[in-house]
Amino acid sequence: MTEAVLKSSDLFERRKAVVANGVGVFNTATVSTANGATIIDVDGKELIDFAGGIGVVNAGHCPETVVEAIQEQAAKYIHTSFNVVTYEPYVKLCEELTEILPHADKTKVMLVSTGAEAVENAIKIARQATKRKGILCFTGAFHGRTMMSMTLTSKVDYKKNCGPFAPEVYRLPFPNYYRYGEGRSLDKFVDLELKRLREAFKNMISPSNLAAIIIELVQGEGGFTVAPQKYVEGLRSICDEYGIMLIFDEIQSGFSRTGKWAAWQNYNITPDISTYAKSMGSGMPIAAVVGKAEIMDAAAPGTIGGTYIGNPVSCAAALATIQLIKDQNLNERGAYLGRIIRQRFESIQKQCPQIGEVRGLGAMMAIEFVKNNDPRQPNPELCAHIIKQCYNRGLILLSAGTFKNVIRILSPLVISEELLEKGLTILEEEIINSCSK
């Protein structure tokens, strides 16, 4: 019997018939196999992947050593629940994480399965450590889709009719200098934003009721907006002054994307707690909460955890991914690729006045499209058009930003320079074509 040829469009129709509508479609691409930075779709077409499964495959699709580690672990045991039977891959992964992401003389870790779960647990730990309830977060933030993490998430479109949301969550504007700088110097802007934060302690919540401030140093879904160094320094000293936990959400920015294991290592500012997922496990569901030992230990036994926390196969994948990052020096490569992408984007910007800003940290690079050269007039239509045209030419891209007017690059960092160049050329041609219309 010959097997029917599976077409992308057929697969998509079948998806529509049985998959709930609320499961978002960012791109209509399909996959039969994937390797490195290349996806082969079900029609046999080769696609260049600049989305990396939303920042999950920094170490590439199906790296050989990770695949082998998964297979080897799966053959030994797949699940015991770490609460019930202790296994070494969990402990070893925690040991590795404390070494590459030290938060203090003594750092401790808990593992879970998804980014949102890591955020939920970071909040629970901060609350238990401080015995306070309030959490301060930012506009443009994305922290997940579970109830607390969705409450912390800013964009209204992600939250339609999902409330009531968690109580005791407060929000301030993210220090987005491009959008809100309004001609001030960066220093002046940061001073004003820190003043706004101190004012919030008078008109929003008393610092003595605030358990934590949670921030993405480079906002992922928010459009790769980078928090200014001086602002983050200000956050650190305010948190120290009032005994507030500073939480960095590194779920999208972690594991070589910004040229370091975590974005905070570019700032030389250490959080009390931080969260990781995505590229840590090369696609296997694994996430971590990392923090100063005495803070992590403040959570009472049984208050954090779950059946699947740190699944052994996922731990094996993460350990192999960390080894690969070390062996191939992907942190340095992230910084190097970031310089190539930035240079290219800045040269495109000179030819296209619709590009309001080129920004990012390391290889977490983005382009923002606006109208009339005005940071407050987003151009999502142009952005969507360019992404579609690129897809027609075999390049998978993702948008970002509250207004969907940002193109972000999350390609695997193992991408060859030749393939990166090919993808950037498609993007450049489509931007210039679309901008000149």
Q: Which is nearer to ligand PLP, 89 or 115 (CB)?
A: 115
Q: Does 41 sit near ligand PLP (CB under 6 A)? A: no
CB of 158 to ligand PLP, least distance (A): 10
In degrees and rounded to multiples of 5, residue 264 shows phi and psi of -65, -20
CB of 220 to ligand PLP, least distance (A): 4
The binder of ligand PLP chosen from 73, 252, 258, 402 (CB under 6 A):
252
Q: Does 142 sit near ligand PLP (CB under 6 A)? A: yes
Is the separation of the CB atoms in 279 and 250 below 8 Å? no
The binder of ligand PLP chosen from 61, 108, 127, 143 (CB under 6 A):
143
The binder of ligand PLP chosen from 115, 134, 271, 401 (CB under 6 A):
115
Number of shown-chain residues binding ligand PLP (CB under 6 A): 15
In degrees and rounded to multiples of 5, residue 159 shows phi and psi of -120, 10
Q: By three-state DSSP, how is residue 417 classified? A: helix
CB of 226 to ligand PLP, least distance (A): 14
Is the separation of the CB atoms in 257 and 285 below 8 Å? no
Report the alpha-carbon distance of residue 298 to residue 156 in Å, rounded.
33
Structure tokens at 354: 């619709």
Q: Which is nearer to ligand PLP, 364 or 382 (CB)?
A: 364
CB of 269 to ligand PLP, least distance (A): 17
With CB atoms as reference, the residue minimizing the distance to ligand PLP is 115
Report the alpha-carbon distance of residue 122 to residue 116 in Å, rounded.
10
The binder of ligand PLP chosen from 97, 190, 194, 277 (CB under 6 A):
277
Q: Does 255 sit near ligand PLP (CB under 6 A)? A: no
The binder of ligand PLP chosen from 193, 216, 272, 430 (CB under 6 A):
216
Q: Does 119 sit near ligand PLP (CB under 6 A)? A: yes
Is the separation of the CB atoms in 247 and 272 below 8 Å? yes
Using the contact rule CB under 6 A, the part of the chain among 18-26, 216-224, 337-345, 427-435 near ligand PLP is 216-224
Using the contact rule CB under 6 A, the part of the chain among 137-145, 288-296, 312-320, 412-420 near ligand PLP is 137-145
The conformational region for residue 148 under phi > 0 = left, psi -120 to 50 = alpha, else beta, is alpha
Q: Does 120 sit near ligand PLP (CB under 6 A)? A: no
CB of 84 to ligand PLP, least distance (A): 24
Cβ contacts of 212 within 8 Å, gap of 6 or more: 122, 123, 126, 127, 130, 135, 136, 244, 245, 246, 247, 272, 273
Cβ contacts of 251 within 8 Å, gap of 6 or more: 115, 118, 119, 143, 220, 275, 276, 277, 278, 287
CB of 219 to ligand PLP, least distance (A): 8
**Positive or negative CA dihedral for 309, 315, 317, 321?**
positive
Q: Which is nearer to ligand PLP, 286 or 424 (CB)?
A: 286
Fill in the per-residue mask, 43 to 72: x = in contact with ligand PLP (CB under 6 A), - = not in contact: -----------x------------------
DSSP conformation letters of 342-370: HHHHHHHHHH-TTEEEEEEETTEEEEEEB
Is the separation of the CB atoms in 96 and 322 below 8 Å? yes
Report the alpha-carbon distance of residue 35 to residue 6 in Å, rounded.
20
The binder of ligand PLP chosen from 51, 93, 94, 116 (CB under 6 A):
116
What residues line the site for ligand PLP (CB under 6 A)? 54, 114-116, 119, 142-144, 216, 220-221, 249, 251-252, 277
